Structure 1
């Protein structure tokens, strides 16, 4: 019967993940939030309350959450391992300042501020300090996965958040020691912190030194056998051993997995390992997110809703304010500091550990620990939402900063130049070619990052809307030799073409199209010439292929010319005659 129950729970997990997660993806709310909500629904605090109404809800409820949590924790190990695998020690060194500066300040300020807020609310010293330490740390799994979903891990925000999270993992030992000290009247909290930091440093250095002497020989041995199964088995062994060592020393097991990833990133097998581990990580990490959702009891939340809402508001406001302050002191730009503070403002999985230890040792009461755990879990559920909100605020702030620094203000005296609308990858390439020919040009973009990057490279790029005629006029539109439309958004690119054609009827307009259909709409809007991006890429690939399989260069060029003209005819709504100019293969 136990095996049947386990099989049913696995089936419930797969069904819930298969329905809720794709729905959240479709709504663009993220996979992480989908798993968390799915966990709330099928957990004992969700459908579990409806079992007395109908026994059918019992079949859709996961009751043994503890059994699944063990597997879910493995997902965190694999996540941190893959992050370490992508980072390497050299790249980790580049975020060392952020880790120590921003990370240390964030933990210290957040702990102190949350402690002060709890003390002002009437809690005793021990309770307040436990809250400060438990809620100061953020969820490594949720934050990193949310950043990865939005492709932000490689940005300044992603690097800073990762540095802070690594530092937070290193603070696990000092915090655990302090919780133990609080249960012993008269012990020194300050000495406990120093001792904990020293232990963490020694363990990390020991794992790295031991790993560097063992990991490479082991991986070379596995690689020499040519056995893929042995390679994966040794990789899993390294992850588990590193996690076991750090866990036994009181550190996070996830930190050990991260160090294992860094060690393996120095080997030639890291790309193969990354591909092999990815499916394990995704499945187990989804299970972890669901188990977090399962810890939330909807009935308990409703019963204490005013207290929980007030506590969440205080938690988010305190961590946002002092997180932003710490990041600004660490000299992070305003927009990046705002987004990073938002993504780190929730609590983390380690809050469960701290509160459980504190309740077991009698430092806080069981009732307070349960309430605090619920608040931590809900804040974790809201972490992806806060990250998305932070990203929006940061973009607006960055746009204002860019407009203040590089906004279009007055006629700059441009003449006989090219105006480029959109300065992404395509627009930047056009600008380089114009520079090589010493042709004057200026560009507009609404992405603040593009504007700032271009300014650093010495490019003449302004923050502004290329669909507004008054902005184009300030860049000397009536004196421009030509316009180039490279905006990513299809609707905006068509609007820019119509605006130019309406206000400057004789203008020469070249536009980049995403597809042939989009190209036809751009021509209808008034573009003189349109280049479908997908078409040119496919033609280049086809040309290389024809050349490699033996066709003469002249025949290849003629084939491509015919295909290009055929596509252009289709865009213009004319007949397609692909075989009309087809030369013989023997050329």
Structure 2
């Protein structure tokens, strides 16, 4: 008989419970005081890590149950966090979006990384480091944090778009950087590097082709089961397979995770996958940041406080100046350039990966690697503060228009149709006839497949999951049209939407007058009972056949519709009564 699983300190299960427990404490505690959890995760990591309370285990044995004293046990957790973060980054993008941003990505992004790396490397070379060591450290420290920057900024603003383009190039450049360091280091054989590059390239190509062929089929089958658990399992399976494939070929597993996200982003199921994996994204960020905090040796920081401070200030200053100057030369406003430069100044989570690679091939000794890991961890810790400082300075510089950047958006608002059955498709046809942009959402995989074949912009997703509508940018939608035949779900969705977006037009299909009254109470802008519309259409046909002029028929139909709507709202106990528009309609007809 198998023995039951027991919780024991300094075991994988014990470490898992400590890390997950710490994450569970940080999120609600810091949310209560409206403080970014980024700092909280790092502080908690410092507290429970091997250089914090974990160092006191020998003196106080019971601390072993709430701390981690083995630094080597942190590596798998940090890698898991980075893998999930890069997957979420890929989900927020797509190959189409990447292609439209190619000039920013391969222009601005390449300049920012190369110039920043060369300047940092030149400073380190001038301080007595070898050319190879200076270049390795320059490439590592020139990287910026994808996980934190994208969490802080809005990629629809000019600052966010510029940051996203640079971060994308850095993520793409990570693999070539690792190859370059391997070739430069004493442990790198040229033949091995090229063999790995060839095998890795073939693996990536196979993932791209296989993903485009099989992912739509996989997610369609998972969606037809109507099982959220199976859908989530399919999503995680794709991430695991892609990460294992790239790891087996010699590449980093984060490359596979990024590709998995990009491939899923191309399918009609991207919004649903993003919604269901959102909890994992927050957990992954927390786990990674906790491991960053655990890696900080406060005694070493204190003993070398002036060196560490000087290094942090130098790295932040060089990167901020380089990024801001490049943006300014490319025509960006001074305030926007300043804000972006400061936002992108701190090192990255991938800096730790590059430092590890450089150390393993002999380009950096272990003492130097530990020093720069401390600099990186401190830089990550103050990233939220840098973001606030950059925004404040940027607005002060652009005092004439302090808030325009935050509201900038180059995307035309579109209507969101929830439910793409008979009614939803009719609404879509009318919007298309009048050249009004829209996107449709449905939880039936077969309906989505047929709509896509017919050329409609449709995506799979359950609107009850808030993340799905957020993925479709409901905050800037021109209207939301609810056409599904699910009265209770519709009322709940209308109530949630109205609570989050007070000014959003919400038009809902109702079964009858009583259902319409409930939808108005929930916050619908318009609720259209099917029984009323069928009666009005029948009346219109009768009046026209009896010889009444079409203009007067239309006016009377509108008048009756407004009267009926007012009656519904009064019977429903709503104080606000709609203003009738029939008189103006009659005046227009008369004219």
Smaller-chain TM-score bracket: 0.5 to 0.7
Query: Do residues 99 (structure 1) and 105 (structure 2) align?
Result: yes
Q: Residues 183 and 193 of structure 2 are in contact (CA less than 8 Å); yes or no, is this contact kept in structure 1?
A: no
1:171 aligns to what SS in structure 2?
A: helix
What do the CA deviations read for 1:201-233 (whole angstroms, capped 9, x no partner)? Answer: 776555423321232233334344555444333
Worse-matched range after superposition: 155-164 or 324-333 = 324-333
1:29 aligns to what SS in structure 2?
A: coil
| Cα distance in 2 between the residues matched to 1:372 and 1:343 | 20
CA 1:171–1:193 in 2, change beyond 3 Å: closer, same or farther?
farther
Q: Structure 2: where are the runs of 5+ without partners?
A: 413-501, 507-519, 533-562, 578-591
Q: Residues 245 and 256 of structure 1 are in contact (CA less than 8 Å); yes or no, is this contact kept in structure 2?
A: yes
What do the CA deviations read for 1:551-571 (whole angstroms, capped 9, x no partner)? Answer: 933423556897249xxxxxx
1:331-350 → structure 2 map (5 Å cutoff): 331-350=331-350
1:44 aligns to what SS in structure 2?
A: coil
| Cα distance in 2 between the residues matched to 1:274 and 1:264 | 9
Question: Which residue of the other structure, out of 158, 161, 176, is the alignment partner of 2:160?
Answer: 158
| Cα distance in 2 between the residues matched to 1:396 and 1:294 | 37
Query: Do residues 351 (structure 1) and 307 (structure 2) align?
Result: no
Aligned residue in 1 for 2:177: 175
Aligned residue in 2 for 1:366: 366
Q: Residues 181 and 192 of structure 1 are in contact (CA less than 8 Å); yes or no, is this contact kept in structure 2?
A: no
TM-score (norm 2): 0.65
Q: CA deviation at 1:187?
A: 9.8
Q: CA deviation at 1:194?
A: 11
Query: Do residues 447 (structure 1) and 406 (structure 2) align?
Result: no
CA 1:66–1:332 in 2, change beyond 3 Å: closer, same or farther?
farther
CA 1:343–1:267 in 2, change beyond 3 Å: closer, same or farther?
same
Worse-matched range after superposition: 41-50 or 192-201 = 192-201
CA 1:256–1:232 in 2, change beyond 3 Å: closer, same or farther?
same
Q: CA deviation at 1:65?
A: 4.3
CA 1:112–1:4 in 2, change beyond 3 Å: closer, same or farther?
same
Aligned residue in 2 for 1:511: none
CA 1:354–1:2 in 2, change beyond 3 Å: closer, same or farther?
farther
Q: CA deviation at 1:250?
A: 5.1
Query: Do residues 4 (structure 1) and 8 (structure 2) align?
Result: yes
What do the CA deviations read for 1:96-135 (whole angstroms, capped 9, x no partner)? Answer: 2111011100110111010111122222223212211111
Aligned residue in 1 for 2:255: 255
TM-score (norm 1): 0.65
Q: CA deviation at 1:95?
A: 1.9
Q: Residues 32 and 145 of structure 1 are in contact (CA less than 8 Å); yes or no, is this contact kept in structure 2?
A: no
Aligned residue in 2 for 1:312: 312
Aligned residue in 1 for 2:567: 555
Q: Residues 169 and 252 of structure 1 are in contact (CA less than 8 Å); yes or no, is this contact kept in structure 2?
A: no
Q: Residues 182 and 193 of structure 2 are in contact (CA less than 8 Å); yes or no, is this contact kept in structure 1?
A: no
1:286 aligns to what SS in structure 2?
A: helix
Query: Do residues 36 (structure 1) and 42 (structure 2) align?
Result: yes
Q: CA deviation at 1:153?
A: 2.9
Q: Residues 45 and 295 of structure 1 are in contact (CA less than 8 Å); yes or no, is this contact kept in structure 2?
A: yes
What do the CA deviations read for 1:369-423 (whole angstroms, capped 9, x no partner)? Answer: 21122112221222222122212222223334x3xxxxxxxxxxxxxxxxxxxxx
RMSD: 3.9
CA 1:28–1:341 in 2, change beyond 3 Å: closer, same or farther?
farther
2:94 aligns to what SS in structure 1?
A: helix
What do the CA deviations read for 1:434-487 (whole angstroms, capped 9, x no partner)? Answer: xxxxxxxxxxxx623379889x9xxxxxxxxxxxxxxxxxxxxxxxxxxxxxxx
Aligned residue in 2 for 1:391: 391
